Amino acid sequence: MSLTKEIAGFSQDCSRATFQIVTSAPLFLIALIVFVIPESPRWLLKTGKYDEFVKIVQRAAKFNKVGICKILRCIKVQARGAPT
């Protein structure tokens, strides 16, 4: 049973345009999220974008209430291939 079928059942009294808006709303939300979620720190390091990497890691450290030095130490350990 698909979600579209359930939405259609609930919106029988609504117009076709309303149905299309309701079913396409998640797509627009996902498209907006692309501008909010930062790039992957691993990808930034791999492509040499160190300034952006540091900004994102600092923001993550502040959010997690962890010092940036501790995060950078973990990254160095993982880069060597040692288990964390």
Q: Are residues 54 and 27 in the same domain?
A: no
45/74 same-domain check: yes
Cβ distance 62 to 54 under 8 Å?
no
The gap from C-alpha 20 to its chain's centroid, in whole angstroms, comes to 26
Does residue 48 share a domain with residue 26? no
- The structure's pTM equals 0.50
Reported as a single tens digit per residue, the pLDDT across 1-22 is 466 666 666 656 667 777 788 7
Same domain, 46 and 76: yes
pLDDT at 18: 78
Residues 18 and 49 in one domain: no
pLDDT band at 84 (very low <50, low <70, confident <90, very high): very low
Amino acid at 83: P
Give the domain extent around 29. 3-33
Give start and end residues of each alpha helix (H) in 34-81.
41-46, 50-64, 68-80
In this structure, are 53 and 71 located in the same domain?
yes
- Per residue in 20-70, pLDDT tens? 887 788 888 888 888 888 888 888 888 888 888 888 888 888 888 887 776
What is the tally of structural domains in the chain?
Answer: 2
